[in-house]
Copies of this chain bind each other. A is one copy, B any other.
Amino acid sequence: MFHQLGRLGHMSAAPLDSSEHRSGPLLDHLARRMRLRSESVLSPLGLRPRHLVALTVLRDGGGTSQQALASTLAMDGTNIVGLLNDLESMQLIERRRSPEDRRRHVVELTDDGAKRLNEAECALASAENEVLGALEPDEREKLYLLLRRAATGTTITCEAVILEDTSPVDSR
């Protein structure tokens, strides 16, 4: 599945991009399988995939405004509100008013949130082992680094500027 059979379907004479392969369908497919496999370990922790992504961003990126989080996750602000309401009601994050601009909240992981995220990641070892089972450990590490490069690299744009610009936890 997904392996090239001599590109039988490649009818066009027009040359493709230098990298003819498309990672898009593969990303979709693997993300879906990972999600399916993860649900059974996330539900006991009261978490859903969206929660996990948000918690990961907050742990790795530190406190952030809701707008910055919306931008990072490419989600509408009103949907971020609902997502954060879920996490706040579970005491996994807290919102505090920014002393610099009291319209704004700074959203941060709580100790419980960090712990829960850690538990989730431990629990997800089995999902990763299954979904990425064909890869050697060094290949999994390489995959992780490439995915992270791709994920963080593109925020070295206006998104990163917004994030840096609004982050109140920086010593200023």
Contact = CB atoms under 8 A, between A and B. Distances in A.
B125 A26 contact: no
A5 B142 contact: no
A64 B130 CA distance: 24
A53 interface: yes
Contacts of A72: 1
A82 interface: no
B151 A26 contact: yes
Nearest to A159: B1
A46 interface: no
A24 B150 contact: no
Contacts of A8: 59, 62, 114
Contact of A149 (B25, B56, B134): B134
A149 to B, nearest CB: 5
A118 to B, nearest CB: 5
